[in-house]
Structure 1
Amino acid sequence: MGRVHLVSVRIITADIKRLVQFFEDATGITAKWATDDFAELSSESFTLAIGSTRTLAFFGEGVAEPATNKSMIIEFLVENVDDNYEIIKGLTSEIVQKPTTMPWGNRSLLFRDPDGNLINFFTPVSEVAKKKFA
């Protein structure tokens, strides 16, 4: 098998405009809209794709269901998680964990987007964690 590259993570939502606006506000990245039903927020290291439920028609019935994720955390490396907390707490009341230094050396902020997806903003703070993400 040849090389495999993770290109993006896609969230399916029933309210694409709301969810795209949330992630634009949370990350400071402006989405690029391909159609009214599909947008991408891209940086040099990742692409978060957001598709409306109407995009599922191409894949078949029952393939994905919006606002039902209970097994994945979408993680963003940020410069200063405490500064981001000030922004995030103005965007959502669903703060799962305020900025906390974890045993593995990252300072993490866990919150939910408007569809209930679990999001982690983190900043490496220990020397080991800083080296990992240098």
Structure 2
Amino acid sequence: MAATQKTLPTNVDPHEFIAAATPEKRRVDGEALEKIFSEVTGEKPVMWGPSIVGYGTYTYVSPSNPKNTGIWPKTGFSPRKAQLSIYGLKDLPEGAALLPQLGKYTEGAGCVYVKKLEDINVQVLKKLIAIAAARPDQGAS
């Protein structure tokens, strides 16, 4: 039986979400990221669950269980209190190869963590976002 997807698109305004981010540095960086992601992807931001600002969508198929499918943003971010979480940058081989040039970051299972935008190369970030935004839809046949 396929698992029920918990994180889905919502009708929450992403700009209001970003404006409410704390501390102030997280809000400022979140606003800057929103501009960068919108410019690079050409997509409007959509809130996914309570805390992810996503761009584009694709249908994923779990490699370990092909019956486990769902939709997910191609790329996105969350201005979390402790750090910025950026999604989709390392999912594709081309992005994973470019990631070491990003600057100062750490990795989680599905995202990259950045303390502040000044720690990373924004031009490399834009390339990584473009790679993620061009992701093919795994569920397409």
- Give the TM interval when normalised to the shorter protein: 0.3 to 0.5
TM-score by length of 2: 0.33
Higher fraction of helix: 2
Higher fraction of strand: 1
Structure number with larger C-alpha Rg: 1
TM-score by length of 1: 0.35
